[in-house]
Amino acid sequence: MNLKTVSLAFLAALLAIPVVSTQSFGQEGRDNPLDPVKSRRQILVGPTFGVSRNYHSGGFRTIDDPGCPLFEDGNGWGFLVGLSAEFLPSVDGRWGIIPRITFDQRPGQFRQELPNAKVLLPNPAQPNNPTVVDQTVSTTSDITYSLLNVEVMYKYEILLLGDFRVGAAVGPAFQYVMGGTNRQVQDLEEPQNARFVNPDERPTENNGRRLIFFDGDIPERSSTRFSAKAGLQGEIGLFDNQWALTPGVYYDYGLTDVTPTENWQLSTIIFQVDLRRAF
d(CA 275, CA 107): 25
Q: What is the model's pLDDT at position 210?
A: 93
d(CA 26, CA 121): 76
Instruction: Tell me, yes or no, whether 172 lies in a domain.
Output: yes
Q: Are 157 and 205 in contact (CB under 8 A)?
A: no
Q: Which residues of 123-161 are buried (b: 16+ CB within 10 A; e: fewer)?
A: eeeeeeeeeeeebebebbbbbbbbbebebebebbbbebe
105, 169, 239, 246 from 28: Cα distances, Å: 41, 21, 21, 20
99 residue type, one letter: P
User: In total, how many domains does the chain have?
Assistant: 1
d(CA 182, CA 140): 10
pTM value is 0.78
d(CA 267, CA 254): 5
Kindly tell me if the per-residue pLDDT of 79 is higher than 80: yes
* Count of Cβ atoms closer than 10 Å to residue 187 Cβ: 16
Instruction: Tell me, yes or no, whether 249 lies in a domain.
Output: yes
pLDDT in tens, 100-154: 999 999 999 999 887 776 777 777 777 788 778 778 888 899 999 999 999 999 9
Three-class secondary structure of residue 262 per DSSP: coil
Instruction: Tell me, yes or no, whether 113 lies in a domain.
Output: no
Instruction: Tell me, yes or no, whether 270 lies in a domain.
Output: yes
Query: What CATH number should be reported for the domain holding residue 165?
Result: 2.40.160.20
Nearest by Cα to 144 from 114, 178, 111: 178
Q: What is the model's pLDDT at position 41?
A: 61
- Cα within 13 Å of Cα(26), Cβ side: 5
pLDDT in tens, 187-231: 988 777 778 888 889 999 998 999 999 999 998 899 999 999 999
pLDDT in tens, 255-275: 999 998 888 999 999 999 999
Instruction: Tell me, yes or no, whether 115 lies in a domain.
Output: no
143 CA to centre of own chain: 12
* Count of Cβ atoms closer than 10 Å to residue 103 Cβ: 13
Band (pLDDT 50/70/90 cuts) for residue 86 is very high
277 against 5, higher pLDDT: 277
With a pLDDT cut of 90, the percent of the chain lying above it is 53
Instruction: Tell me, yes or no, whether 197 lies in a domain.
Output: no
Asked whether the CA dihedral 5, 8, 11, 15 is positive or negative, the reply is negative
Instruction: Tell me, yes or no, whether 100 lies in a domain.
Output: yes
Give the range of the structural domain holding residue 69, as residue numbers without chain letter.
3-26+43-108+145-184+223-278
**β-strands 243-254, 224-238: how paired?**
antiparallel
Instruction: Tell me, yes or no, whether 104 lies in a domain.
Output: yes
d(CA 21, CA 133): 70
pLDDT in tens, 24-72: 344 444 444 434 445 556 899 999 999 999 999 987 776 666 667 788 8
pLDDT in tens, 231-260: 999 999 999 888 999 999 999 999 999 998
With a pLDDT cut of 70, the percent of the chain lying above it is 83
62's CB contacts (< 8 A; 6+ apart) are: 68, 71, 141, 182, 184, 213, 214, 219
